[in-house]
């Protein structure tokens, strides 16, 4: 197709007018008819040009409109006016790139749909209004009120109060969170994350029944094993003590070693049982205690441990507020474990228990001037079976369960426990328990 440049056409047209003016004037024609002829020719050329431009413009407009309606197959044909043709080709190039991008996005979307569809856990997304934007098939199976053809509010589909509360709380404090919840007889791990740009919340509900079953099997196994081991160990301990009466010096040494190891095993079994009992029995029995009498009693219980040591136990209780609500039996265990540790790692000096109570909470510090804990171990000492100084004589070190029991009991009281320590200078554990009401 022959193309014309708009600029070129205008130059030719103006040139033609000048030539025409010259020819007419030179042929002796009068000025007025000359101008009339020129006006007529200009109008005609203008009309033809306008018609051409209008047709080309309409062609571009029609096609871009079709594209905007979703028909991406449309392309602008070659146009006669060069400038329009260039514009048309640029639009075609842009449409080509757009097609490529849309194609890629469609592939990704399909992949994502397949992945989400194969996930066995319920996955869904909620918009800012609280309507379910999309959900996978596992969600539809779990919540049979869900109808994917309608945009439903999540509370129309989800009826479980714990789950509804979680979603509501999540809206008010939207940092990524994970929480264990139970629906009927099943346990789930619920996690959510928010996309503030898209104003969407994505939630995932994972069934953890199997994990719970395995945990329960593990606990049952430990409880049974501990039960089976206790009787023979008590017998070994009892008979080795009885043999002390007739043993000579060499045998006495062997008997002490047997007793030492038997005691370690009995302690391990006791610790394991305590930990499992604490984990199984989430409830605590809060009672108001008098801290002065409570710690007097603790001192009495622990006094035999101090007999052969050059370590003194000092207790300093705030006398202004001596009453506080705790679970007395579990609370006792905290100080037994912490003081036992301090005693184990302190050769000479003092272990101090200091408490300060306010209307809101109770702060208790247990400090010693013993060997201290190296900074690299501090973050891990509350883990089960974690023993910081493995090079120590195995006879004097424990099994690493004491502090996890302490942490568990503090958590049952909704409290916190922190530790600070300096090698060679000592260790301080700080426990803060919020004030609770006696049941």
List contacts with Mg ion (CB under 5 A). 341, 398, 402
In whole angstroms, give the CA distance from residue 249 to residue 272: 35
Check residue 193 and report its DSSP letter. Answer: E
Closest distance between ligand ATP and the C-beta of residue 373, in Å? 4
Between 167 and 387, name the residue whose CB sits nearer to Mg ion: 387
Q: Which does 355 bind (CB under 5 to 8 A by kind): Mg ion, ligand ATP, none?
A: none
In whole angstroms, give the CA distance from residue 105 to residue 406: 53
Closest distance between Mg ion and the C-beta of residue 335, in Å? 12
Q: Is there binding between residue 327 and ligand ATP (CB under 6 A)?
A: no
* Options 17-25, 164-172, 253-261, 402-410: segment touching ligand ATP (CB under 6 A): 402-410
Burial class of 384 by CB neighbour count within 10 A (0 to 12, 13 to 18, 19+): middle
Between 63 and 405, name the residue whose CB sits nearer to ligand ATP: 405
Closest distance between ligand ATP and the C-beta of residue 380, in Å? 9
In whole angstroms, give the CA distance from residue 159 to residue 147: 15
Q: Is there binding between residue 272 and ligand ATP (CB under 6 A)?
A: no
Closest distance between ligand ATP and the C-beta of residue 147, in Å? 53
Closest distance between ligand ATP and the C-beta of residue 381, in Å? 4
Angle at 311 between CA 307 and CA 317, to 5 degrees: 105
Q: Is there binding between residue 402 and ligand ATP (CB under 6 A)?
A: yes
Q: Is there binding between residue 306 and ligand ATP (CB under 6 A)?
A: no
Residue 398 CA neighbour count, 13 Å, CB half? 24
Between 187 and 223, name the residue whose CB sits nearer to ligand ATP: 223
Q: Is there binding between residue 313 and ligand ATP (CB under 6 A)?
A: no
Q: Is there binding between residue 274 and ligand ATP (CB under 6 A)?
A: no
Residue in 287, 387, 420, 430 binding ligand ATP, rule: CB under 6 A:
387
Closest distance between ligand ATP and the C-beta of residue 298, in Å? 16
Q: Residues 364 to 383: which contact ligand ATP by CB under 6 A?
A: 368, 370-373, 381
Closest distance between ligand ATP and the C-beta of residue 127, in Å? 48
> What number of other Cβ atoms are within 10 A of residue 39's Cβ?
10
Residue in 341, 353, 355, 409 binding ligand ATP, rule: CB under 6 A:
341
- In DSSP terms, 135 is beta-bridged to 124
Concatenating the DSSP letter of every residue in 221-271 gives HHHHHHHHHHHHHHHHHHHHHHHGGG--HHHHHHHHHHHHHHHHHHHHHHH
In whole angstroms, give the CA distance from residue 204 to residue 125: 9
Between 402 and 426, name the residue whose CB sits nearer to Mg ion: 402
The set of long-range contacts for 177-184, using a CB threshold of 8 Å and a minimum separation of 24, is 180/208, 183/142
* Options 29-37, 53-61, 107-115, 398-406: segment touching ligand ATP (CB under 6 A): 398-406
Per residue, the 3-state secondary structure of 383-437, as one string, reads CCCCCCCCCCCCCCCCCCCHHHHHHHHHHHCCCEEEEEEECCCEEEEEEEEECCC
Between 206 and 404, name the residue whose CB sits nearer to Mg ion: 404
Residue 342 CA neighbour count, 13 Å, CB half? 31
Q: Which residue is closest to Mg ion by CB?
A: 402
| Phi, psi torsion values for 92, nearest 5 degrees | -60, -40
Residue in 166, 291, 324, 400 binding ligand ATP, rule: CB under 6 A:
400
Q: Which does 166 bind (CB under 5 to 8 A by kind): ligand ATP, Mg ion, none?
A: none
Q: Which two tokens stand for residue 230?
A: 């206790």
Per residue, the 3-state secondary structure of 298-322, as one string, reads HHHHHHHHHCCCEEEEEEEECCCCC
- In DSSP terms, 206 is beta-bridged to 189
Spatial CB neighbours of 320, under 8 Å, sequence gap ≥ 6? 357
Q: Is there binding between residue 403 and ligand ATP (CB under 6 A)?
A: yes
In whole angstroms, give the CA distance from residue 88 to residue 93: 9
Cα–chain center distance at 243: 58
Between 189 and 419, name the residue whose CB sits nearer to ligand ATP: 419
* Options 14-22, 149-157, 323-331, 393-401: segment touching ligand ATP (CB under 6 A): 393-401
Q: Is there binding between residue 56 and ligand ATP (CB under 6 A)?
A: no
* Options 22-30, 110-118, 127-135, 384-392: segment touching ligand ATP (CB under 6 A): 384-392
Q: Is there binding between residue 389 and ligand ATP (CB under 6 A)?
A: yes
Q: How many residues line the site for ligand ATP (CB under 6 A)?
A: 25
Between 76 and 405, name the residue whose CB sits nearer to ligand ATP: 405
Residues that bind ligand ATP (CB under 6 A): 267, 271, 337, 341-342, 345, 368, 370-373, 381, 386-389, 397-404, 427
């Amino acid at each position: 197709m022959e193309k014309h440049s708009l600029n070129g056409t205008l130059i030719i047209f103006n040139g033609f007018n000048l030539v025409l003016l010259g020819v007419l004037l030179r042929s002796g024609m009068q000025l007025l008819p000359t101008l009339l002829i020129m006006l007529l020719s200009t109008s005609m050329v203008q009309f033809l040009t306008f018609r051409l431009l209008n047709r080309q413009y309409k062609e571009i407009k029609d096609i871009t409109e079709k594209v905007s309606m979703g028909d991406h197959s449309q392309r602008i044909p070659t146009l006669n006016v060069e400038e329009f043709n260039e514009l048309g080709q640029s639009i075609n190039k842009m449409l080509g790139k757009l097609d490529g991008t849309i194609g890629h996005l469609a592939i990704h979307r399909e992949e994502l749909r397949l992945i989400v569809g194969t996930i066995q856990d319920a996955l869904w997304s909620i918009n800012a209004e609280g309507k379910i934007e999309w959900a996978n098939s596992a969600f539809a199976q779990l919540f049979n009120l869900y109808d994917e053809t309608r945009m439903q509010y999540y509370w129309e589909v989800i009826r479980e109060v714990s789950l509804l509360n979680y979603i509501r709380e999540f809206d008010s404090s939207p940092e990524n969170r994970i929480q264990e919840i139970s629906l009927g007889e099943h346990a789930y791990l619920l996690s959510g994350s928010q996309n503030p740009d898209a104003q969407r919340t994505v939630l995932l509900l994972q069934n953890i029944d199997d994990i719970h079953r395995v945990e329960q099997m593990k606990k049952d196994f430990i409880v049974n094993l501990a039960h089976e081991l206790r009787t023979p160990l008590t017998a070994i301990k009892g008979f080795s003590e009885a043999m002390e009466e007739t043993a000579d010096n060499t045998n006495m040494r062997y008997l002490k070693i047997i007793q030492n190891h038997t005691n370690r095993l009995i302690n391990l079994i006791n610790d394991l049982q305590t930990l499992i009992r604490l984990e199984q029995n989430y409830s605590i029995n809060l009672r108001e205690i008098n801290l002065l009498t409570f710690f007097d009693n603790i001192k009495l219980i622990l006094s035999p441990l101090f007999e052969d040591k050059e370590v003194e136990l000092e207790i300093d209780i705030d006398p202004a507020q001596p009453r506080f609500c705790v679970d007395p039996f579990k609370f006792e265990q905290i100080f037994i474990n912490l003081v036992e540790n301090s005693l184990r790692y302190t050769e000479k000096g003092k272990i101090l228990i200091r408490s300060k109570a306010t209307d809101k909470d109770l702060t208790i510090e247990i400090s010693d001037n013993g060997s201290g804990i190296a900074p690299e171990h501090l973050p891990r000492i509350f883990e089960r079976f974690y023993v910081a100084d493995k090079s120590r004589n195995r006879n004097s070190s424990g099994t690493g369960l004491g502090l996890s029991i302490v942490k568990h009991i503090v958590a049952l009281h909704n409290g916190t426990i922190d530790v600070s320590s300096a090698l060679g200078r000592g260790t301080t554990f700080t426990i803060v328990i919020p004030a609770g009401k006696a049941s």
